[in-house]
Structure 1
Amino acid sequence: MTLFKYATAILMAMMLALPAAALSLDEAKGRLESAKSSGQVGEMPTGYLGVVSGGGEAEAIVEAINEARRAEYARIAEKHDIPVSQVEAVAGKKALEKTPSGQYIQVNGRWVRK
């Protein structure tokens, strides 16, 4: 097998494995508190989650939860005829306020332990 064919085969195998890494919304919700408590995931003022330190399922959790938040923010914005950015800002402010001590929040673009 040539190097090109070998590299292509590895790339194809990796691409096929990617969907398996995705989490359902329910799985992500079930793992969110642990990811926040361990410092892997934090709240951002944008209304979305961010990866504080990679590893484990942090990225998959953030992706699944943020996708659901994005849809909900759009629904709320449309219902009240306001910009999505306004909904995101209010949600972000509330999320930062509700974050318990010891967990991470993003302040001025930097992750800090609340």
Structure 2
Amino acid sequence: MTLLKYATALLMAMALALPAMALSLDEAKSQLDTAKSEGQVGEMPTGYLGVVSAGGNAKAIVDAINQARRDEYARIADKHDIPVTQVEAVAGKKAMEKTPPGQYIQVNDRWVRK
């Protein structure tokens, strides 16, 4: 009986952890527009996404997209022999400019609706 209780507890813990599991980049991309329009995710001047309001897969989306962005920024910086921070700043500026009205951007460390 102890083994059955252990197995049940393990299955319950795994089921609770499912929403927190990492998303593939394709899954994150497919959920990004919805997360942005629902106010869960926003653009930051650093060139990365941030969690505006925790819920759904917001953190997993941010983590997956930001990792892909980090990799791409590093590739661009290496190619042009410039600091990654310079690429991040340019990308952040462009992303915030492209953000449609009603979605969130980070200004002076605060989330504001554009």
TM-score by length of 1: 0.85
What is aligned with 2:27? Answer: 27
Other structure's SS at 1:50 match: strand
What is aligned with 2:50? Answer: 50
What is aligned with 1:72? Answer: 72
Q: In 1, distance between residues paired with 2:112 and 2:20?
A: 32
Would the aligned equivalents of 2:20 and 2:60 in 1 still touch at CA under 8 Å?
no
After superposition, the C-alpha distances for 1:60-97 in whole angstroms (9 at most, x for unaligned) are 00000000000000000000000000000000000000
What is aligned with 1:110? Answer: 110
1:85-104 equivalences under 5 Å are 85-104=85-104
Q: In 1, distance between residues paired with 2:55 and 2:39?
A: 11
Q: Number of aligned residue pairs: give it.
A: 105
Identical-pair percentage:
82
TM-score by length of 2: 0.85
Q: CA deviation at 1:21?
A: 1.4
Letter in 1 for 2:94: K
- Structure 1, unmatched stretches of 5+, are none
Q: In 1, distance between residues paired with 2:38 and 2:19?
A: 25
1:112–1:82 CA distance, 2 compared to 1 (3 A): same
Other structure's SS at 1:88 match: helix
Q: In 2, distance between residues paired with 1:100 and 1:19?
A: 28
- Structure 2, unmatched stretches of 5+, are none
Q: CA deviation at 1:20?
A: 6.9
Letter in 2 for 1:28: A
Q: Which runs of 4+ in 1 moved over 6 A?
A: none
Q: CA deviation at 1:108?
A: 0.3
Superposed CA RMSD = 2.1
1:31-42 equivalences under 5 Å are 31-42=31-42
